[in-house]
Chains A and B, each alone.
Chain A
Amino acid sequence: MRNVIALAFCFIALAVLAPILAPYDPAAINIPNRLSAPSADWVLGTDALGRDILSRLLYGARWSLGLAFLISFLGLLIGTVIGLLAALGGKWVDWFLMRATDTFLSFPELVAAVVIAGVLGASTASMIFALTVTSWMRYARVARGVGLSLQSEGYVIQARLAGLSPLSIARWHYIPSLLPSLTVVWTGMFARAILGISTLGFLGFGVQPPMPEWGTMLLDARIHMRSTPLQMIWPGLAVVMSVLAINLAGDALRDALSERVQDI
């Protein structure tokens, strides 16, 4: 548990400290040095335009992790509001919002994101929009489920009978019960967002060059796969390591929470 969280924090630290750690400007083109193998000067080698891969990887963490955080957090906000409205808004609001959720789930999320980002035109903004509108549904389902079960929970009924205001009931009883399960969903969606950003980048619908983003780097590297295969390894490894760290942190969190629930 500790190790996994430490690993996840390491990635975040690398992203934050990129300007200090990166040996070169990630956008500095150096044609004479293109496609050079790893060496003392260029630890991981250079790409087709002679840019330092290590520097691009470090700056790329800012894009991949930062945007994934933004996207999963926006999804969390939208989904929680929709889910709670469905749980508490009465039969028809619930029906409408849940059918809307089903509609968004009627399509594999990442494929929908590819279509939306592609149709709206390849740019970072349309990528953020596309990944956000396809990422709120799980939060909504979880929030609705917890909301509905809380409504018949003894302590919520007691609070209502005591005459506690709806705001206080939300503050003291709903939000503390929702947070753990939503956090677990959030870690999963954070990891999915990293995968989504790199997939869209790889297809050319995401972060646009010359910004260093892991998926876009893979797209560039793919062309020179036969001559310099190592170029292709690093960005992929970065994606896998960060997704793995976040997923494992999420698993550990879920186990810790379910143990606490069992204690109760």
Chain B
Amino acid sequence: MLTVENVAVRRANTLALEGITLSLAQGRTLAVVGESGAGKSTLIGAILGLVPCAAGEIAWAGEPVRTYRPSLVMQEPRRAFNPRLSLRRSVCEPLVAQGLPRDEARLSRLCQGLEIQPDLLDRLPSQVSIGQAQRVGILRALIASPPLVLFDEPLSALDAVTQKHTARLIAELQSEEGFAALIVTHDLGYAAAYADEIAVLKAGKIVEGGPTAAFIDRPQTEYGKSLRNAAFALGALEQVA
């Protein structure tokens, strides 16, 4: 269970995040929605311990999150891999680092779940498509069975069809593996379709949060409404009679 309590992060004399309180249980999905500059990536950095908190507590089951080795799926899939190393090497990096045995059965099961052809892993990051690279990125995030996986705009580099396909694969794996997923995204459509709960981040603060269905049905704040309306206007969500 991830608990984020009253967290603040300072960046160059201003507060990039302020009074952030969130919780996320094992196996559940929380989407943090907001526009660029709202502090979404800073929040991920704070949870992963890459960015120091000025105030507040972040814990997983009452202990520092770092001890559970949470993993991260990044926005730019190609940049998440060392361009000089084969994808297989990068994928196995968490196992090597944590001294875990390489479980070939698990690797091939995950590859199957993510629709990754086995020979794909022997290529360099520059030799695969962006969609393939992102699926390998998810594979790396899951290989060491972390209890918590963070997704930083995992779909925004992909095209519309690949986005939906990849989102479905993530959700299927989540139900098998049971990790908690924190998804940061600007796309309310994605959040609406896959998150159990939604938190709306604006200018470093959470302005609205709650169960997804309730939020989509009736946002409480003006900003929440404008996000929802934009999702309809851009065709991410559709109303049918």
Q: Complex Cα distance A165/B83, Å?
A: 20
Q: By the criterion CB–CB under 8 Å, are B79 and A161 in contact?
A: no
Partner of A163, one of B84, B97, B125, B126: B97
A164 proximity list for chain B (CB < 8 A): 93, 96-97
Q: By the criterion CB–CB under 8 Å, are B80 and A154 in contact?
A: yes
Does residue B196 face the partner (Cβ distance < 8 Å to A)?
A: no
Q: By the criterion CB–CB under 8 Å, are B98 and A154 in contact?
A: no
Nearest CB in chain A: distance from B68 CB, A: 11
Q: Complex Cα distance A157/B64, Å?
A: 18
B93 proximity list for chain A (CB < 8 A): 158-159, 162, 164
Given A154-B74, A172-B85 in contact, is the A162-B98 Cβ separation under 8 Å? yes
If over half of A's interface residues share one DSSP class (helix, strand or loop), that class is named, otherwise mixed; here it is: helix
Does residue B154 face the partner (Cβ distance < 8 Å to A)?
A: no
Q: By the criterion CB–CB under 8 Å, are B97 and A168 in contact?
A: yes
Restricting to B99-151, which residues have a CB under 8 Å from any CB of A?
124-126, 140, 144
Does residue A90 face the partner (Cβ distance < 8 Å to B)?
A: no
Q: By the criterion CB–CB under 8 Å, are B76 and A154 in contact?
A: yes
Nearest CB in chain A: distance from B32 CB, A: 19
Partner of B97, one of A157, A162, A173: A162
Q: By the criterion CB–CB under 8 Å, are B81 and A155 in contact?
A: yes
Does residue B42 face the partner (Cβ distance < 8 Å to A)?
A: no
Q: By the criterion CB–CB under 8 Å, are A264 and B125 in contact?
A: yes
A153 proximity list for chain B (CB < 8 A): 79
Restricting to A209-264, which residues have a CB under 8 Å from any CB of B?
263-264
Nearest CB in chain A: distance from B179 CB, A: 15
Q: Complex Cα distance A164/B98, Å?
A: 7
Restricting to A165-186, which residues have a CB under 8 Å from any CB of B?
165, 168, 172-173, 176-177
Name the residue on A nearest B92 (C-beta). A162
A155 proximity list for chain B (CB < 8 A): 79-82, 90
Does residue B72 face the partner (Cβ distance < 8 Å to A)?
A: yes
Residues of A within 8 A of B (CB): 153-155, 157-165, 168, 172-173, 176-177, 263-264
B140 proximity list for chain A (CB < 8 A): 158
Q: By the criterion CB–CB under 8 Å, are B76 and A165 in contact?
A: no
Given A153-B79, A158-B140, A161-B71 in contact, is the A264-B96 Cβ separation under 8 Å? no
Nearest CB in chain B: distance from A73 CB, A: 24
Name the residue on A nearest B81 (C-beta). A155
Against A, the Cβ 8 Å flags (1 = close, 0 = not) of B182-215 are: 0000000000000000000000000000000000
Name the residue on A nearest B124 (C-beta). A264
Instruction: Give the top 6 A-B pairs by smallest Cβ distance, nearest first.
Output: A162-B94, A154-B79, A164-B97, A154-B80, A163-B97, A155-B82
Does residue B50 face the partner (Cβ distance < 8 Å to A)?
A: yes
Q: Complex Cα distance A163/B69, Å?
A: 8
Name the residue on A nearest B79 (C-beta). A154
Kindly name the residue among A158, A165, A263 whose own CB sees the greatest number of chain B CB atoms within 10 A.
A158
Q: Complex Cα distance A173/B79, Å?
A: 13
Q: By the criterion CB–CB under 8 Å, are A173 and B71 in contact?
A: no
5 extra interchain contacts, Cβ-Cβ under 8 A, other than A162-B71, A264-B125? A157-B74, A158-B74, A162-B97, A165-B97, A168-B96
Nearest CB in chain A: distance from B67 CB, A: 10
Q: 6 A-B contacts, Cβ less than 8 Å apart?
A: A154-B79, A158-B90, A158-B140, A162-B93, A172-B82, A263-B126
Q: Complex Cα distance A177/B98, Å?
A: 24
Q: Complex Cα distance A157/B51, Å?
A: 12
Does residue B39 face the partner (Cβ distance < 8 Å to A)?
A: no
Q: Complex Cα distance A143/B156, Å?
A: 33
A172 proximity list for chain B (CB < 8 A): 82, 85
Partner of A157, one of B72, B83, B96, B98: B72
Nearest CB in chain B: distance from A173 CB, A: 6
Q: Complex Cα distance A157/B48, Å?
A: 10
Q: By the criterion CB–CB under 8 Å, are A158 and B80 in contact?
A: yes
A158 proximity list for chain B (CB < 8 A): 72, 74, 80-81, 90, 93, 140
Q: By the criterion CB–CB under 8 Å, are A157 and B82 in contact?
A: no
Q: By the criterion CB–CB under 8 Å, are B126 and A161 in contact?
A: no
Q: Complex Cα distance A124/B93, Å?
A: 49
Nearest CB in chain A: distance from B92 CB, A: 10
Name the residue on B nearest A156 (C-beta). B82
Does residue B70 face the partner (Cβ distance < 8 Å to A)?
A: yes
Q: By the criterion CB–CB under 8 Å, are A159 and B79 in contact?
A: no
Name the residue on B nearest A159 (C-beta). B93
Q: By the criterion CB–CB under 8 Å, are A162 and B69 in contact?
A: yes
A159 proximity list for chain B (CB < 8 A): 93, 97
Partner of A264, one of B69, B83, B98, B144: B83
